[in-house]
Amino acid sequence: MKNFIIISAPSGSGKTTLCRALQKRDESIHFSVSCTTRERRNGEMNGVDYSFLNHADFEKGIAENAFAEFEQIHGNYYYGTLKSTLDAAIQRQDLLLLELDVKGAMTIKNLLPEKTITIFVEPPSLDDLRERLVKRGTDSEERIAKRLERLGAELEYKSNFDYRVINDELNRAADEIMNIIQHENEGVPYGS
């Protein structure tokens, strides 16, 4: 069984919205709550959207080898996935949706290739991406510029993913990803 559905995309490509749409379509798909040291955005809940940690606690986890993958991005913020989260999903035979950056996705894919489906989500265009970032209203112009700078590096990884999906229309993109998940796990029962 391929337990881990990894969604990666440049910031502003709609990956969080897409992940929520996938969970609404199939309640057996659980969301992996990543750890981060960034500030909580308006409306985010600790333990639901992310596990918000301070730098000292995150670095303690790194020292204790608690993370399957972690990355320091967008300045001084850490993001990471706990090994215990992955182990629990395998043991329960759960489908686990992971929203990761490209390096984290490749780390998990290399660590557990027989358990992983990697999907790179692209915006329809660079202009569309910039517009989404601005409309989101959570980042300064400087932060948006940093996110767009990172785009080139992220796009270099897309050929390493199992699948690529253009998020030009939410329902169409969600349908495509659901078809991928069903195709990859055809005939394999999984828990709820």
Dihedrals phi, psi of 55, to nearest 5 degrees: -60, -40
User: pLDDT tens-digit profile of 30-67?
Assistant: 999 999 999 998 899 999 989 999 999 999 999 999 99
What does the alpha-carbon distance between residue 153 and residue 111 come to, in Å, rounded to a whole number? 22
User: pLDDT tens-digit profile of 89-98?
Assistant: 999 999 999 9
Q: Please list, in sequence order, all residues whose beta carbon lies within 8 angstroms of the beta carbon of residue 127, skipping any fewer than 6 positions away.
A: none
Dihedrals phi, psi of 156, to nearest 5 degrees: -65, -25
Q: Over the chain, what is the mean pLDDT?
A: 88
Please say if the pLDDT value at position 147 is more than 90.
Answer: no
Please say if the pLDDT value at position 81 is more than 80.
Answer: yes
Please say if the pLDDT value at position 125 is more than 90.
Answer: no
User: pLDDT tens-digit profile of 1-17?
Assistant: 999 999 998 777 778 88
DSSP state of 115: G
165 contacts 122 by C-beta, under 8 angstroms = yes
What does the alpha-carbon distance between residue 83 and residue 65 come to, in Å, rounded to a whole number? 9
Domains in the chain, CATH or no CATH each = 4-184 (3.40.50.300)
